[in-house]
Amino acid sequence: MRLIEEKKIEDLLMQLKTYSNMRIELIKLKTIEKAAVTSSYLLSNLLPILAFVISVVFLSTAMAFYLSQQLGNIIWGFTLVGLFYILLAVILFLLKKKLVGTPVKNKIISTLTKTSFN
């Protein structure tokens, strides 16, 4: 009788060990999946943003040269474009939580909590 009970306990411990190992493996796979999804999301959004930034740099330079030509002084053209960007930076700084912080945080949370395992 005691031998049967020891066998049941041993089987139960073996099943518990197997279950624990499977849970650890599942957690590892889910972590890898979340990292891959987040990385691909960031990369796929980073490239268009980079292209946009490069375009803005070239357009800003062109606008500065145009304003310089219209004003007759190269310093004034670049100064006006610089002041525009300072004004834009101040506005973005004042609205950063509303425009950037909360939406980005929500997108990251939704990306990380989305499950694709069915």
The CA–CA distances, whole Å, from 89 to 57, 77, 82, 84 equal: 15, 19, 10, 9
Instruction: Give the pLDDT confidence score for residue 105 in this predicted structure.
Output: 79
The average confidence (pLDDT) of the chain is 87
Residue 109 burial (CB count, 10 A): 10
Phi-psi region of 115 (alpha: psi -120 to 50; beta: other; left: phi over 0): beta
In this predicted model, which residue has the larger pLDDT, 44 or 100? 44
Name the residue ranges covered by the structural domains of the chain: 2-113
Instruction: Give the pLDDT confidence score for residue 116 in this predicted structure.
Output: 52
Q: Residue 118 above 50 pLDDT?
A: no
- Model confidence pLDDT, tens digit, residues 40-77: 878 888 889 999 999 999 999 999 999 999 999 999 99
Instruction: Give the pLDDT confidence score for residue 42 in this predicted structure.
Output: 81
Instruction: Give the pLDDT confidence score for residue 117 in this predicted structure.
Output: 47
Instruction: Give the pLDDT confidence score for residue 115 in this predicted structure.
Output: 56
Helices (H), the chain: 2-71, 74-94, 96, 102-113
